[in-house]
Chains A and B, each alone.
Chain A
């Protein structure tokens, strides 16, 4: 992350500081070229994380309830965990800004010749804040649902006594993580989105005028 921040900072500052136009063009084309070369993870569709997560959650729970063997129960519990972690990952992907794309747009926008220091600072705050929010929401939802799942395994499902205490412990740890990630916001997040309680997964905070959504916030 530090490397990405340094790279962005240096690339942002280079057009401002360099008086030489040739150098500026070369830096931009270098970045665009590198961006193109970057290995992209193949995706069948944008919902595959959610679909995979839901399948794991469903099969994990049905398998857990249907199996008698302790080894199988532990394996199905692993599948439940993977499913919920993947749902959290899907939430992260929906909210995370694509840093490379954002910067490419920033340096190739033909309407702007030069950015002021304020523009650069605003852009950086926007990227960092959205990234921090995406991570926080991902952690909150995966931990919250995981804690519910582990309590369910321990208290509702037919679970061997030797595993019950482990599930209660894991449920407790995930509850603490969920509460922490619901309440704690980084300074970048506070700067862009305010200090409100915000765990709404449907609001992306997109500035684009055609964006739509519903915000539910609580002000302390």
Chain B
């Protein structure tokens, strides 16, 4: 409680803070459990959501349905209640008694794979973040979003055996989105005098955006595989900020940002070990986000894989088990989604269930 009071006191005057969600729209279990540090990995289905330029190295055909979300942890029940239950004063008071920051993310996607492209329909990508501060006069900062996306992903090999590369490829992923969101900060007492719908008014927006990527697969042992990606290159999603003291904003999610990945893989008869180090930058390599730099490691034995991710604010171990038509992934994370307001790590469990046809 003491830590919470100090945190609240220090940051109460901050205008905005960022929240990082490890589950991105249309994400796979591996992408999330590797902390989105997997852009140089090739030869598996999930690599497409890491980097569209990996498309030429793995092509499958079929339909799969996947559900991925936080399933257990310190803030899961609170986040879920926040999204699915009516927001009342009682609910907010209950959340306030338990925790100052609650976060929930969920993704449900259907993927249609062909030898030419991958089509992903994400009917539900949900975010529910709630920050309660100022214990003397409780205030609530809220960020809710429900996004629907239709995404087309593909890639091509552009060169072989040139410039020390085994192969160089490009990738592209274009998507149409439609989302409704609500961001606001209000006093707990406002809930007594006003309707929740008035305080949490959802705004709708639609748009078109995409991701462009380049992948260099090295043929030289001491040179790593390298990837360069520009996410949301049109930067089309604009969110209206409320005119309040504190606002929260998602980072590395809907805005334009660039990533550089460096990686290497080692194949043995006992399985494959892959390493990737992902660097994140704002806009077109404008500002380096050192705190989000992530090391991802994966041990893969086709039907079983272990994923590890490590960064300053996110550590994770995940296990994925596959059979012919059904996959289950479970991962345990220690994370600070909003490090500026969180003094302690959250312990979370993420689960994915996937059915392939």
Contact = CB atoms under 8 A, between A and B. Distances in A.
A and B associate in one complex:
yes
A72 B304 contact: no
A69 B73 CA distance: 10
Which range contains the number of B residues in contact with the other chain? 20 to 34
A204 interface: no
Given A52-B301, A52-B303, A71 B72 contact: yes
B72 A59 contact: no
Nearest to A84: B323
Contacts of B190: none
B77 to A, nearest CB: 10
Contacts of A43: 302
B150 interface: no
Nearest to A42: B302
B71 A45 contact: no
B324 interface: yes
Interface residues of A, number: 28
Interface string A28-64: 0000000000000011110011011101100110010
A52 B302 contact: yes
Contact of A79 (B71, B301, B321, B349): B321
Nearest to A78: B328
Contacts of A55: 304, 321
B303 A49 contact: yes
A130 B326 CA distance: 27
Contacts of B32: none
Contacts of A52: 301-304, 321-322
B269 A86 contact: no
A71 B106 CA distance: 14
Contacts of A48: 271, 301-303
B188 interface: no
Contact of A75 (B269, B270, B304, B328): B328
B351 A75 contact: yes
A56 B351 contact: no
A142 to B, nearest CB: 10
B323 A44 contact: no
State the majority secondary structure of interface residues on A: helix
A78 B353 contact: yes
Given A52-B301, A72-B72, A83-B321, A44 B268 contact: yes
Interface string A106-142: 0000000000000000000000000000000000000
A82 interface: yes
B56 to A, nearest CB: 15
A76 interface: yes
Given A56-B321, A78-B353, A89-B324, A51 B301 contact: yes
A69 B72 contact: yes
B330 interface: yes
B272 interface: yes
A71 B71 contact: yes
A85 interface: yes
B99 to A, nearest CB: 17
Interface string B256-291: 000000000001111110000000000000000000
Given A49-B303, A59-B319, A85-B326, 12 more contacts: A45-B270, A48-B271, A51-B301, A51-B304, A59-B321, A69-B71, A69-B72, A71-B71, A75-B353, A78-B328, A79-B321, A86-B303
11 contacts: A44-B272, A45-B270, A52-B302, A52-B322, A60-B321, A63-B330, A69-B71, A79-B330, A81-B326, A82-B323, A86-B323
